[in-house]
Amino acid sequence: MARILFITDSDEKEKLVKSAVKGKEFLVSSEEINIEDILKVETPDIVILDCDIQKLDIKSVIKTVKHYPVILILYAGEKPVGKDITNHANLIISKDADKNIISAIIDAGLRTGTSLQKLADSNQELARSLYQLNVLYNTSSQLAGSLDKEELIKIMIEGIDKSLNFDLACVLIFRSPREPVLVINSIYNISDRLLEALKLRAILSYKSIIEDPPVDIKIGNLKIEKAVKHTIKEYDFSVLRFDSMFSKISFNDDFYGFVEIYRSAPFNTEDATCFQTLVRQVSLPIRSASLYQEIKETNRKLEKLERLKSDFISIVSHELRTPLTAIKNAMDIILSGKAGKLSENIEKFVTMGKRNTIRLSGIINDLLDISKIEAGKMDFRFALININPVIEYVKSNLTEMAKEKNLEIKYTPMSKDIEIFADSNRLEQVLTNLVSNAIKFTPDSGKIEISAKVINARDIQYDHCFEEEIKRLRGNYLQVCVEDKGIGIERKDLNHVFDKFAQIENPLSRKVGGSGLGLPIAKQLMEAHNGAIWCDSEISKGSRFYFVIPVANDKNNFDTIKKQMIVKAKSNGTTLAIINITGKGGFIEYLLNTENIINKAFLQNALIEKNNDGKTSITMLMPEGDKPSAEFLKTRILSEADKYESGGNKCDIMYSYEIEGDSHEKNPHS
Amino acid sequence: MKKILIVDDEQDIVESLKFVLEVSGYTCYTAYNGEDGLKLAKELLPDLIILDVMMPKINGYKISRLLKYDNKYKDIPIIMLTARSQTEDKLIGEETGVNEYITKPFELDQIVKKVEEYIGQDKQE
């Protein structure tokens, strides 16, 4: 029923207006305090103010009334009122208006009031929708930035809280596939009995929405996480009578949990839409987070397994070496004749024993090497070397073995000027492997040829199955080739010869034995040298095994690469740092052998030069290198120099760098 | 005759080393653990010690450190045997004053040669 307040002190006017508002609630007052109370407690729809009122100041009454959403009608009196007052009125009743006119004006006022109210309501609703939309937007952008399940749930709850102001929210989620957690957010504390009820309810909901639940959730294994805003009060069972909404967190058929929220004020359709949208928005990131978590977990397990395997191989190999040493020692003593004279047969069989002991220890060494390489624990001693001594050494070492089969090993030494940056022991290992393979697979009285030359990467010829390895090479390389006239390898097997434990099926491979790890090790060693290894072969004609290592002191080659890289950096808008370090007393070599990021950076695109004054300098090209990274490297190198000098060496290092392709660096004024 | 002390928990290795070194004319004493080895080293004042790294109770490095930091024993050459080949092991060896570092599996001749380098061939004296 419409409520009307008439502020007047005239009985006559009161009677007149009262007769005009029949059927509506009608209140009359002439006391300021009363007016305030009525406005506050029973806010009327319309306030009619008598301008002739004596006891009150009209202006102050208007001021009070304006605080409330009412229609103000002025009842004009004897003396005229100024515009400053009439401006505040929605309608005016003229002083001589009769009952019908007053009634019509009040009805008009009521209609205006209703329209205004509607407008205000829809405005408010609009504002609320806008706010919810904003929350949705913020929440979804936050959700997109996280791969952490817990955080995603937190963002979602915050979003729901902001847009819907719940009293209590329960979220069931799985921390790991077997670890269900019930996350409870509430304004006030939760009584123990309510907590039990919420747990039970969550379990029942879980069982009702999932057929064949993969995890049996019980009161005992359901973890609880509570976040309470205020502890001054406690919720009891009455919360369960609040209005509530429920939604699954799922993606396609995958179920990740659910959300249930309670609020004392009822939810409307818009609230439901907002709630569903928020929950739906979290489903996809939760799925990604779950997958990510799974991948991380799998990775962790794999790494652990890999480590276990490496440790296992290394421990077993060490343990095997000890008895093997004892066996070999014993046979050495017998063969030396110091323990007594040997018959021909004893010598023959003990020699056989010894040969196989050596073979076994070779296999153990291979296993150790591969486990070390895979664990990244292989030690390298890089230095500037010429390949000739390495080849000569391997050749002379294997001459004995070749002679047994009446084979000849040929090598024509190459220029001494060509230097490579390599670990000569590891190169010997690779070459020994290639040459002894060649000896094993070449029929008696054959020939094995070793050759070495400098070749540009683009001139390298190879079977396309090695494209992966060769195409990344740039510039000039030292290429070593070991050629045999043996049984050859079938084309389909070519690239598998470098696979671990993959002995190619052929009549000879059984007979010659070996660990099957020699070539995989060689491949890994070559990779550590920034080189490559590959082969080509023709059945029953022979095989050629090649490996390449970057030529170290080829200034022309380096300059060409440098020019290319500068052009590339400038056209791509990136930078290239050219860093030069000079030092004496073997500091550069020390630097290169130090186990840190520096040596990896050095091995690529670097020029090492020995100067006449006993100093060595290295110039390296760092693509995408900028001022901070060059400065960072400088700090690292200076600290290495300190370490080096503390060992009693002098190194006098000089460090300089240029940055190419950085327009700010080059032209500070442009 | 020059005295050599061999300390290794692998009895077979000790036996074969003892055999070849005695054939070469040295007197050998043996111990199968670090504790006995250290005790014998102090009692006998040998001309050279062959030490294994991995041993129960007191390991080779510890013995080496104890002897090398004592003026009475610091001049006795020590040859260290190990099944490991990691560089860091060699660094520890150098730090504890080991004179020579030989990786298992080794050649018996190699040991005999090293011993000769350090204390000469006894027969010629």
**Do A537 and A563 sit in the same domain of this protein?**
no
Cis status, amide bond into B105, omega within 30 of 0: yes
Identify the CA nearest to A371 among candidates A304, A315, A435, A298.
A315
Domain B3-124, what architecture?
A: 3-Layer(aba) Sandwich (3.40)
Question: Between chain A and chain B, how many beta carbons pairs sit less than 8 Å apart?
Answer: 45
The yes-or-no verdict on residue B89 having pLDDT over 70 is no
Q: So what's the pLDDT on residue A670?
A: 38
Q: Is A321 on the interface with B (CB under 8 A)?
A: yes
The yes-or-no verdict on residue A642 having pLDDT over 60 is yes
Question: Which residues of chain A neighbour B87 with C-beta distances below 8 Å?
Answer: 379
Q: Give strand pairing partners of A500.
A: none
Q: Is B105 on the interface with A (CB under 8 A)?
A: yes
Q: So what's the pLDDT on residue A514?
A: 63
Q: Give strand pairing partners of A37.
A: none
A338–B105 C-beta distance less than 8 A: no
CA distances from A396 to A283, A391, A412, A424, A435 (A): 69, 9, 14, 16, 11
Nearest CA in chain A to B11: A326
Sign of dihedral through CA atoms B84, B86, B88, B94? Answer: positive
A377–B13 C-beta distance less than 8 A: no
Q: Name the amino acid, one letter, at A519.
A: L
**Do A514 and A571 sit in the same domain of this protein?**
no
Could you give phi then psi for residue A49, rounded to 5 degrees? -115, 125
The yes-or-no verdict on residue B4 having pLDDT over 90 is yes
Nearest CA in chain B to A360: B105
Q: Is B17 on the interface with A (CB under 8 A)?
A: yes
* Contact between B80 and B69 (Cβ < 8 Å): no
Residue A486 token pair: 């043996």
Residue B46 token pair: 């040998």
Q: So what's the pLDDT on residue A599?
A: 56
Separation CA A587–CA A580 (nearest Å): 14
**Nearest CA distance, B81 vs chain A (angstrom):** 11
Residue A359 token pair: 């073979």
Which residue did the predictor score with more confidence, A342 or A475? A342
Q: So what's the pLDDT on residue A547?
A: 94
Residues with Cβ within 8 Å of A363's Cβ and at least 6 positions away in sequence, in order, are: A514, A515, A517
* Contact between A429 and A464 (Cβ < 8 Å): no
Suggest the residue from B53, B84, B104, B107 to mutate for an interface test with chain A (most A CBs closer than 10 A).
Answer: B104
CA distances from B90 to A143, A368, A510 (A): 54, 18, 38
Separation CA A243–CA A262 (nearest Å): 6
Identify the CA nearest to A224 among candidates A186, A172, A290.
A172
B106–A333 C-beta distance less than 8 A: no
Could you give phi then psi for residue A630, rounded to 5 degrees? -65, -40
pLDDT (tens digit per residue) in A62-100: 888 888 888 888 888 888 888 888 888 888 888 888 888
- A318 located within any domain: no
Instruction: Quickly list H helices, A91-177.
Output: 99-144, 149-164
Q: Is B88 on the interface with A (CB under 8 A)?
A: no
**Do A419 and A518 sit in the same domain of this protein?**
yes
pLDDT (tens digit per residue) in A5-54: 999 888 888 888 888 888 888 888 888 888 888 888 888 888 999 888 88
Residues with Cβ within 8 Å of B77's Cβ and at least 6 positions away in sequence, in order, are: B47, B48, B49, B99, B100, B118, B119
B104–A330 C-beta distance less than 8 A: no
CATH of the domain at A423: 3.30.565.10
- A650 located within any domain: yes
B108–A338 C-beta distance less than 8 A: no
Question: Which residues of chain B neighbour A333 with C-beta distances below 8 Å?
Answer: 16, 19-20, 108
**Do A546 and A561 sit in the same domain of this protein?**
no
pLDDT (tens digit per residue) in A505-528: 554 454 455 667 888 899 989 988
**Do A145 and A112 sit in the same domain of this protein?**
no
Collapse the DSSP code of A46 into the 3-class scheme (helix H, G, I; strand E, B; otherwise coil) and give the result.
Answer: strand
Separation CA A587–CA A640 (nearest Å): 9
Suggest the residue from A315, A328, A329 to mutate for an interface test with chain B (most B CBs closer than 10 A).
Answer: A329
**Nearest CA distance, B51 vs chain A (angstrom):** 14
Collapse the DSSP code of A4 into the 3-class scheme (helix H, G, I; strand E, B; otherwise coil) and give the result.
Answer: strand
The yes-or-no verdict on residue A391 having pLDDT over 90 is yes
Nearest CA in chain A to B111: A329
Question: Which residues of chain B neighbour A339 with C-beta distances below 8 Å?
Answer: 19
B107–A339 C-beta distance less than 8 A: no
Report the pLDDT averaged over residues A113-135: 87
Q: In chain B, what are the domain boundaries?
A: 3-124
* Contact between A187 and A230 (Cβ < 8 Å): yes
Residues with Cβ within 8 Å of B71's Cβ and at least 6 positions away in sequence, in order, are: none
**Do A10 and A99 sit in the same domain of this protein?**
yes
Residue A346 token pair: 């004893």
Report the pLDDT averaged over residues A141-147: 84
CATH of the domain at A109: 3.40.50.2300
- A327 located within any domain: no
- Strands B100-103, B78-82: pairing is parallel
A132-142 burial by CB neighbour count: b if 16+ within 10 A, else e?
beebbeebbeb
The average confidence (pLDDT) of chain A is 84
- A78 located within any domain: yes
Report the pLDDT averaged over residues A350-379: 83
Nearest CA in chain A to B9: A322
Highest mean pLDDT among A598-602, A621-625, B81-85: A621-625
**Nearest CA distance, B14 vs chain A (angstrom):** 9
- A630 located within any domain: yes
Suggest the residue from A317, A325, A358, A595 to mutate for an interface test with chain B (most B CBs closer than 10 A).
Answer: A325
The yes-or-no verdict on residue B84 having pLDDT over 70 is no
CATH of the domain at A154: 3.30.450.40
- A313 located within any domain: no
A338–B84 C-beta distance less than 8 A: no
* Contact between A248 and A282 (Cβ < 8 Å): no
Q: What percent of chain A has pLDDT over 90?
A: 16
Question: Which residues of chain B neighbour A376 with C-beta distances below 8 Å?
Answer: none
Q: What's the pLDDT band for A600 if we cut at 50, 70, 90?
A: low
B13–A329 C-beta distance less than 8 A: yes
Q: Which domain holds residue A578?
A: 555-666
CATH of the domain at A609: 3.30.70.270
**Do A48 and A147 sit in the same domain of this protein?**
no
Nearest CA in chain A to B109: A332
* Contact between A41 and A34 (Cβ < 8 Å): no
Of A216-220, A644-648, B97-101, the least confident: A644-648
Of A59-63, A107-111, A159-163, A510-514, the least confident: A510-514
Q: Is A330 on the interface with B (CB under 8 A)?
A: yes
Q: So what's the pLDDT on residue A610?
A: 76
What is the number of structural domains in chain A? 4
pLDDT (tens digit per residue) in A276-331: 988 988 888 888 888 888 888 899 998 888 888 777 877 777 778 788 888 988 99
Q: Say what the alpha-carbon torsion angle B82, B87, B88, B89 is, to the nearest 10 degrees.
A: 10
Q: What's the pLDDT band for A171 if we cut at 50, 70, 90?
A: very high
Residues with Cβ within 8 Å of B51's Cβ and at least 6 positions away in sequence, in order, are: B7, B8, B37, B60, B63, B64, B78, B79, B80, B81, B98
- A324 located within any domain: no
* Contact between A349 and B35 (Cβ < 8 Å): no
**Do A546 and A577 sit in the same domain of this protein?**
no
Question: Which residues of chain A neighbour B19 with C-beta distances below 8 Å?
Answer: 333, 338-339
* Contact between A357 and A328 (Cβ < 8 Å): yes
Question: Which residues of chain A neighbour B91 with C-beta distances below 8 Å?
Answer: none
pLDDT (tens digit per residue) in B34-55: 899 999 999 999 999 999 888 8
Collapse the DSSP code of A349 into the 3-class scheme (helix H, G, I; strand E, B; otherwise coil) and give the result.
Answer: helix
Last residue of a domain, one of A277, A293, A309: A293
Q: So what's the pLDDT on residue B125?
A: 40
Which residue did the predictor score with more confidence, A486 or A547? A547
Q: So what's the pLDDT on residue B26?
A: 93
Residue A13 token pair: 């006017």
The average confidence (pLDDT) of chain B is 84
**Do A246 and A391 sit in the same domain of this protein?**
no
Q: What's the pLDDT band for A415 if we cut at 50, 70, 90?
A: confident
**Do A528 and A576 sit in the same domain of this protein?**
no
B108–A332 C-beta distance less than 8 A: yes
Question: Which residues of chain B neighbour A325 with C-beta distances below 8 Å?
Answer: 13, 104-106
**Do A280 and A188 sit in the same domain of this protein?**
yes
- A658 located within any domain: yes
Q: Give strand pairing partners of B79.
A: B50, B100
Q: Is A639 on the interface with B (CB under 8 A)?
A: no
Nearest to A333 among B86, B105, B108 (CB): B108
CA distances from B55 to A261, A443, A484, B35 (A): 67, 48, 48, 10
Last residue of a domain, one of A65, A84, A119: A119
Collapse the DSSP code of A551 into the 3-class scheme (helix H, G, I; strand E, B; otherwise coil) and give the result.
Answer: strand
The yes-or-no verdict on residue A125 having pLDDT over 80 is yes
The yes-or-no verdict on residue B85 having pLDDT over 80 is no
Nearest to A318 among B84, B106, B107 (CB): B84
User: Which residue is associated with the tokens 């059927």?
Assistant: A23
Nearest to A333 among B20, B83, B87 (CB): B20
Q: So what's the pLDDT on residue A68?
A: 85
Residue A306 token pair: 């890999």
Report the pLDDT averaged over residues A124-141: 86
Question: Which residues of chain B neighbour A378 with C-beta distances below 8 Å?
Answer: none
Nearest CA in chain A to B22: A338
Q: What pTM does this model have?
A: 0.53
Last residue of a domain, one of A524, A550, A576: A550
**Do A559 and A502 sit in the same domain of this protein?**
no
